[in-house]
Amino acid sequence: MKPINEEKIKFILNLKRKGIRDKEVLKAMETVDRKLFLDGIFKSRSEDDIPLPISCGQTISQPSVVAKMIEKLETNKSCKVLEIGTGSGYLTAILSKLSKRVFSIERHESLKKKAEWLLINNNFRNVICILGDGSLGIEYQAPFDRIIISAAAEDIPQILIKQLKYGGIMILPIGMSKDEQTLIKVRKEKSKIHYEEIFKVRFVPLLEGLPKIGNYING
Ligand code: SAH
C-alpha cells in the first residue's frame, strides 16, 4: 500500500477549499510533483500555496491559481494547447496530463532548456518546448484549441486571438500594474468573442523579444 502523504492531502484539501471542483484537474495536481520544478531550499516549500522564485528573476505560479486557470481552460485529451511562459515547466506538466499536445514557449533560454530536460526525463512526452517570444504565438502550428498565458499583458494580444480556433478558449492575466491584474477567460465564437473576469492576480509581465545576453544573472 502507498504511504499516506499528509502534505499532499493538505495540498489537495486547500485546492478544494479554494473552489477547485474538476476531478481531472485535482487528479493532475495530485500526480504532478511541484518539488521537481523547484531548486534548493524552495523544494521544501513546494506544497505551500504560494508563488516561489525560479531562476532568471521569474516565479513558479501559485498552485491554486494554476488549478483555477486549468479548470477554466476546460481541456480534454483531444486538445492542442499553446502555453506562453514555460518558466519552471510546472503548469506545462499539468497541461500535458490533460491535453493531447502542448506547445510551450519561453523567452529565457536557460529556463526553456531546464524545463525541457525535466519534462522529458519525467515522461511528459506530448510537450514541445520552444525558445521565443510567445506573444507572437506559432503561426505554422495554429489554430489551437486552447491558449494559456502565465505572464501579464496590457491588452489581449490580437495575434493570439487569430491563432485560437472557433469555439476555443484562452486564459490570461491582463493589466500592467503589479497590483491591478485580472485573470480573463476568452471564448472565441464565430459571431463574437466572450470575456469573463475570473479574479485578481499578480503575474510577471509578458515581455517582447528575447532577453539580451548579460541582462540577467543566475540564468
Ligand atoms: N507557469 C510558469 C510561470 C512562469 S513565470 C511556472 O509555473 O513556472 C512566467 C514566464 O513567462 C517567465 O518564465 C517569463 O520569462 C515568461 N515570459 C514572459 N514574457 C514572455 C514572452 N513574451 N514569451 C515567452 N515567455 C515569456
pLDDT computed for residue 216 by the predictor: 47
- Determine if ligand 1 sits within 6 Å of the CB of residue 206: yes
What DSSP letter does each residue of 108-156 carry, written as one string? -HHHHHHHHHHHHHTT-TTEEEEES-GGG--GGG--EEEEEESSBBSS-
179 lies in a domain?
yes
Tell me what pLDDT residue 179 has: 73
Q: Which atom of ligand 1 is nearest to the CA of 209?
A: 22
Q: Which atom from ligand 1 is nearest to the alpha carbon of 105?
A: 24
Let me know if residue 217 belongs to a domain. no
Instruction: Note the pLDDT of residue 2.
Output: 64
Angle subtended at Cα 46 by Cα 42 and Cα 48, rounded to the nearest 5 degrees: 110
**Domains identified in the chain, total number:** 1
Q: Which pLDDT does position 218 carry in this prediction?
A: 40
Residue 1 lies in a domain: no
Q: Is 85 in the pocket of ligand 1 (CB under 6 A)?
A: yes
Taking alpha carbons only, the member of 59, 61, 64, 54 closest to residue 10 is: 64
pLDDT at residue 219, rounded to an integer: 39
Q: Which domain holds residue 49?
A: 6-210
68 lies in a domain? yes
* Short-list 166, 143, 26, CA closest to 82: 143
Please indicate whether residue 108, judged by its CB atom, sits closer than 6 Å to ligand 1. Answer: yes
39 near 56, Cβ under 8 Å? no
In a domain, 219, yes or no: no
pTM summary value:
0.95
The segments of the chain whose pLDDT lies below 70 read 1-3, 213-219
The residues that bridge with 80 in the sheet, in sequence order, are: 101
CATH number of the domain residue 30 falls in: 3.40.50.150
